[in-house]
Amino acid sequence: MTTFTARRLPVQLGPAAWNAILGPRQPATPPLDGDRTADFVVIGAGFAGLSAARRLTQLQPGARIAILEAGRVAEGAAGRNSGFMIDLPHELTSDDYAGAGDDRTMIGLNRQAIAFARAAVEEYGIDPNHFDPAGKVNGAASAAAEARNHSYARHLASLGEQSEMLDSVQMHELTGSRHYSSGLYTPGTVMLQPAGYIRGLAAGLTARGVAIFEESAVTGLARNGDGWRVVTATGSVSAPRVILTVNGHLESFGVERGRLMQLFLYATMTPELDADACARLGGRPRWGITPSDPMGTTVRRIDTGQGGNRIVIRSCATLRANTVPRQGRSGPRRRRHAEEVRRTFPATRRHAHGTRLGGPSLPDAERRRRHARDRARGLFRLRPERARHHARHADRHRRGGTGLRRKECHHRPLHRRGAAESSAAAPLSGDRRQCRPALEGMEGARRVMSRRANTGWRMVRSIKNTRAPRACPGASPGRQERPRLGGRGG
């Protein structure tokens, strides 16, 4: 008897961002319970699984089809991708996306899949905003990137495919950013709101009699005579045919063992941009840019029809075979994404830290709870650039300098609120034009920079200093040395 047992189940870190920005959804369908029978069992309710089920309804009307999904629909990879449905060759192992095989055949298959999806949108009444045939641009920000675009344009011309080169002015009009020096526009790509499309597809199939069971992770399947028995934690379903659409989790069932590559991609979605940020950003409300280098940075802008005015950025990839995702691994990539957003779109600087496509780093309630706990423990948050600024000022003051005058210091006095809350705090005295970066009158205290930060923030903590405080040069009589900034941070 042939048996496949799942060695591991899908792990999702937090909610999927594309799904979360769509707002409330229908309650989850009940998980599989008891023993059932069907004509087809589809394992996985992502793009492949739901498309396979739709095709089965076309080929065999009236067939009993059961779809088993480990979590909620659109909470897996379908709600965590960049949302580009590309028709042209997109070979990631090449220098310029040109394929090494029969590109015309691949283009035909891609366009057939896009036509299939377009028909589903029309048939099931899916919101057209979730299926936008806007095309895409290969963005270039260097001479080498422009050379790749020209190479790819020549390849497309040899295939009889249309493309258009955009100069820096046109790229600025499109994106509102001066980052791009040129671009290569191709019209055939569809820009999806992936979670919206998947949710609409699932709703359309359910309305046509397809049974979708959420929260029903398959733990094993076994050959049972002429058919198969698929088992979950709470039930089973028997069918003559089973379709596995679980992508990299094929190896979890022992299928194609040692032949798959698990590639982890990282993406971030900014908070919703307000009207002022949108006005300063400029550009069009919707666009999508893929990099001229196949492993570069992908950027999208979406509008209220797709979940709010936001920028989506995808960059960084790691190859980790048979690895379970963990929260801490995405921290450096999240900070890099924030820096890329700030650099490319300065108008959105305060919106740079956003939500990962794999979900927020901390739910809002948890973030507030931790912030309240940090305040109670004497922890205060500093932006890295502000921490460095005040560290320089404190060091200069400690050496006997006069410090920075108010007009030279663009930051408000640091931790004024903390000083007011401290019973040991004393009022400011002396030259009030100087920036006072430290808590006043905290005897035997110094500040230590810590890396216990979330989303790129640094933490500052007042801890007991064993050294006796010294007199602060230039201070009023009785004033003591200010606590130092520095320590383990960096």
Residue 455's φ and ψ, nearest 5 degrees, are: 50, 45
CA atoms within 13 A of residue 142's CA, in its CB half-sphere: 7
Q: Which two tokens stand for residue 324?
A: 């379970």
Residue 351's φ and ψ, nearest 5 degrees, are: -105, 10
d(CA 377, CA 379) in angstroms, rounded, equals: 6
d(CA 152, CA 188) in angstroms, rounded, equals: 15
**Is the backbone of residue 97 left (phi > 0), alpha (psi -120 to 50) or beta?**
left
What H or E segment, with its residue span, contains residue 484?
Answer: none
d(CA 233, CA 231) in angstroms, rounded, equals: 7
HEC letters along 50-68: HHHHHHHHHHCCCCCEEEE
Residue 53's φ and ψ, nearest 5 degrees, are: -65, -40
Nearest to 42 by CA among 272, 295, 245: 245
d(CA 119, CA 74) in angstroms, rounded, equals: 20
* Domains of the chain in sequence order: 3-83+193-253 (3.50.50.60), 132-190+261-361 (3.30.9.10), 378-464 (no CATH)
pLDDT of residue 469: 38
Q: For the segment 191-212, what is each residue's pLDDT rounded down to a tens digit?
A: 999 999 999 999 999 999 999 9
Note the pTM of the prediction, 2 decimals. Answer: 0.71
Rg (CA), the chain: 28
Is 80 exceeded by the pLDDT of residue 471? Answer: no
Q: For the segment 175-185, what is each residue's pLDDT rounded down to a tens digit?
A: 999 999 999 99
d(CA 210, CA 116) in angstroms, rounded, equals: 18
Most confident among 177-181, 406-410, 462-466, 479-483 (mean pLDDT):
177-181
d(CA 180, CA 98) in angstroms, rounded, equals: 22
* pLDDT band at 390; cut points 50, 70, 90: low
Q: Which two tokens stand for residue 172?
A: 């600025």
Nearest to 184 by CA among 152, 142, 158: 152
Amino acid identity of residue 196, one-letter, is G
